Amino acid sequence: MSQDLFLAALQKATAETLGLAELINTANALSGAGRGDLAQQLYKVWGALNPTHPQLYVAHFNRGCLQTQSGDLPGAIEALTAAITLDPDFMPGYINLGGVLERSGQPDEAIALWQTALQKVSAITGQGFGYKLSTLKQLARILADTQKIEAAEQVLRETLTLDPTQRDVIEQYLAMRLVQCKWPVVEPLPGLESADLVTNIHPLSMAAYTDDPLLQLAAAARYVGLTAETPLASAGEDRRHAPIDVQGRRLRVGYISSDLRDHAVGYLMAELWELHDKAKVEVFAYYCGIPSVDALSLRTRAAVEHWTDIRPMSDAQAAAKIAEDGIDILVDVNGHTRECRTGVFALRPAPIQVNWLGYPGTMGSPYHHYIIADGWIVPPGSEIYYSEKVVRLPCYQPNDRKRVVAAERPTRAEAGLPDDAFVFCCFNGAQKISRATFERWLTILKRVEGSVLWLLESTAETHARLLAFAAGQGVAPERLIFAPKLHNALHLARYPLADLFLDTGAYGAHTTASDALWMGVPMVTLSGRGFAARVCGSLVRASGLVDLVCASPDEYVERAVALGQDRAQIAAYKAQLEANRDTCDLFNMEKLVSSLEDLYATMVVDYQQGALPRPDLTNLDAYMKAGVDHDHEGQEVLAIEDYHGLYKAQLARRHLARPIPPDARLWTQQDIALAEGEPPVSEPQARLRRAAAD
């Protein structure tokens, strides 16, 4: 049928009776029937027969779009170039051609093309307004991807000047400022107050911006509500109430991740797949990352029983596949990170859904039932900061004891380090370096004479900013040394050149921490209130160096200074790490995997008994507004002695303007009574009131 349609249209084209509208309709029909190849051919023939048609550029553009979809990138470049050559003001051609150039490995050409396009849409009205916004967003993204961070930030700022209501652009803009160590991160823009900006920080960036777990929870819930509130799947895909009967079969556990490759999470999980008890658990991996055939990806594929690439699938298609596989427990190893598939979880393709490892915090969603942590990361009493039920491992983070370390170990001179200096290091990403953290580091350097700080390289502009800040605080720029990024095996090999790792806050080291400890480098860390601020403390404790986990900024500084003046103690810690490496909880993968499988079994029992946890999202909009009111860069949340009191005061103020019902976190019936000037309500009275209201 498609062939007949094509031949009929071809005859009309040859007879010069096929108009552009009919051409487009026919090509759409062919493409919809799965014959995009015939649609492309028809456009090409029509174009050759109508070289002077005033709208020939449209035919070239449509052909270019079809060729892009089919993967014919050279053909798409030719067609889209022809379109903008015929009509130099045709903005969709520039937008799409830039995208194809980027996919073809020509990012600089794409950047130049989009910059040319922006010069053509100086008018900020009508259709040109939308084209300009779209082009600016594309330009900012590719600039960021090619590490032109400063330029990307400026483009995003211009985008917000045009339209300050763009949530996604605010997220990217603040992420760019974090990664450049631009302090303060949040500054008002035209049409955007500081509160507007903080309200729209991405959940992952929020973990680096502030150690405020209530605000992190509220931000995650808001983000889910804006981006992943997918309508429920069809009856076949929605498996919220599917029976889990493991009599005569193994438990089916599925893991969704974009990072099962040469990535920090991929390294952490590599050995997990090899140690899962195949007699108890049938393992399914659903990969949603970039195409990869690196050694780690191949190792993972060989270890899991079922591997499915869901990247080309829609959320509904991926959910249908997971439902078809009959998954009992679906684990989200992305959380709110890049290339996540939160929309798949929203469709409830598995009866039990779990948040673990890829994202250091709560999902704030109505469809993640559990979060896996440990007793240090989420101590008793901190469960109120999570929408999920908290379950705990002995140590939260898996590790790969087979990680490859380059045999050739560099010298300090080869790494650009002084031979006789005390070397503090931190190889966390620049986005984790807050002003408060950096000021603590400079205090340590000033007090430990001749010491240096070894940091992971960032951009030249960020280096210059940090060096200038250090100089302003009385620390010579040459005492900050930047380590070039290397392949993981080479990076691990240089770790022992450092004497002591200094952790960041509010978002501490994760994989970086276990790498340092594996290579025998002790760490000083400050454990805060939130998940991301406590992971490193968990890892350091699990390695056996309990006394290097600090509870206050002053303790952190004093401990680092003391160790910077005590090489014998550093040597003792290094020897302890070496001696304990094979027995400590941090690298006891058999214990972790066995404990993880026990957690899964407990979840199944909960489900079978009708006790599956229900995520608690009550009043989180009010907590969001209360948290945004605080100046997080002016005062670290950890410095607030009565943290809960701060929130209660803000909630009370808002309650008087608009009543806030009680919840199971901080805002109780007694707090409501106090806010309204009434006598305190006893708990029995509160229960009676709640029962009457129900």
- The average pLDDT across 144-156 equals 95
Within this chain, do residues 266 and 335 fall inside the same structural domain, yes or no?
Answer: yes
CA angle 629, 634, 640 (to 5 degrees): 75
Tokens for 420, please give them. Answer: 């006789």
Name the residue type at position 233. A
Domain assignment present for 241: no
Predicted pLDDT of residue 687: 62
Owner of token pair 């823009």: 189
Each residue's pLDDT tens digit, 261-287 = 999 999 999 999 999 999 999 999 999
CATH number, domain of 551, equals: 3.40.50.2000
| DSSP string across 11-31 | HHHHTT---HHHHHHHHHHHH
- The residue from 608, 642, 662 where one domain ends is 608
- The DSSP call for residue 375 is T
Whether residue 210 sits in one domain with residue 223: yes
pLDDT average, residue stretch 399-419: 96
Percent of the chain with pLDDT over 70: 96
Q: Is residue 154 part of a domain?
A: yes
Residue 19, classified by CB atoms within 10 Å of its CB into exposed (0-12), middle (13-18) or buried (19+), is: middle
Same domain for 180 and 281, yes or no, is: no
Q: How far apart are CA 274 and CA 305, in angstroms?
A: 10
Confidence of residue 121 (pLDDT cuts 50, 70, 90): confident
Collapsed DSSP state (helix, strand, coil) of residue 306: strand
Query: Rounded distance, CA 565 to CA 419, Å?
Result: 16
The predicted pLDDT at position 234 comes to 55
Quick: pLDDT tens for 46-99. Answer: 999 999 999 999 999 999 999 999 999 999 999 999 999 999 999 999 999 999
The pLDDT of 40-49, averaged and rounded, is 93
Both 505 and 374 in a single domain? no
The per-residue pLDDT for 678 is 75
pLDDT tens profile 520-579: 999 999 999 999 999 999 999 999 999 999 999 999 999 999 999 999 999 999 999 999
Q: Among 212, 227, 242, give the residue marking a domain's end.
A: 227
Tell me: do 378 and 513 sit in the same domain.
no
pLDDT band at 685 (very low <50, low <70, confident <90, very high): low
Cβ-contact 87, 57 below 8 angstroms: yes
Last residue of a domain, one of 579, 608, 637: 608
What are the structure tokens assigned to 332, written together? 């989200």
Residues 38, 169, single domain; the answer is: yes
Token reading at 382 = 């901190």
- Residue 198 has a pLDDT of 98
User: Residue 119 — very low, low, confident or very high, per pLDDT cuts 50/70/90?
Assistant: confident
Residue among 167, 134, 172 nearest 153 (CA): 172
Residue 106, pLDDT above cutoff 80: yes
Q: Are residues 433 and 308 in the same domain?
A: no
* 138 in a structural domain: yes
Q: How many angstroms separate the CA atoms of 44 and 67, rounded? A: 11
One-letter-per-residue 3-state SS of 627-661: HHCCCCCCCCHHHCCCHHHHHHHHHHHHHHHCCCC
Q: Which domain holds residue 642?
A: 620-693
Half-sphere exposure of 68 (CA within 13 A, CB side): 23
pLDDT at 437 over 70: yes
Is the same domain home to 562 and 598?
Answer: no
**In the beta sheet, which residues pair with residue 425?**
454, 501
Q: What is the pTM of this model?
A: 0.91
What value does the mean pLDDT of the chain take? Answer: 94
Residue 6 has what pLDDT?
87
**Mean pLDDT within 662-685:** 84
Domain count, the chain: 4
Run of H or E residues at 69? helix 56-70
Domain membership of residue 417 (yes or no) is no
* Angstrom distance (rounded) from CA 282 to CA 305: 7
Instruction: Give me the percent of the chain exceeding a pLDDT of 90.
Output: 90
In this structure, are 452 and 549 located in the same domain? yes
Is residue 401 assigned to a domain?
Answer: no
- Do 576 and 463 lie in one domain? The reply is yes
In a domain, 414, yes or no: no
| pLDDT over threshold 60, residue 235 | no
Q: Which two tokens stand for residue 657?
A: 């303007």
Residue 682's pLDDT band, with cuts at 50, 70 and 90, is low
Question: 615 lies in a domain?
Answer: no
Task: Tell me what the mean pLDDT of segment 363-374 comes to.
Answer: 98
pLDDT surpassing 60 at residue 228: yes
Q: Are residues 371 and 327 in the same domain?
A: yes
φ, ψ for residue 43, nearest 5 deg: -60, -40
What does each C-alpha distance from 210 to 169, 172, 628 come to in angstroms?
20, 17, 11
Beta sheet of 251-257, edge-to-edge order: 306-309, 281-287, 251-257, 329-332, 352-355, 370-374, 389-393
Whole-number pLDDT of residue 668: 95
Does residue 598 share a domain with residue 466? no
CATH of residue 93: 1.25.40.10
Confidence of residue 2 (pLDDT cuts 50, 70, 90): confident
pLDDT at residue 504 tops 90: yes
Classified as helix, coil or strand, 116 is helix
| Domain assignment present for 614 | no
pLDDT tens-digit series, residues 378-392: 999 999 999 999 999
> Given strand 452-456, what is the order of strands in its sheet?
480-483, 452-456, 423-426, 500-502, 523-526, 549-550
Q: What is the tens place of the pLDDT at every residue in 275-334?
A: 999 999 999 999 999 999 999 999 999 999 999 999 999 999 999 999 999 999 999 999
- State mean pLDDT over 243-267: 96
CATH code of the domain covering residue 257: 3.40.50.11380
Q: Give the pLDDT of residue 499.
A: 98
573 vs 483: CA distance, rounded Å: 24
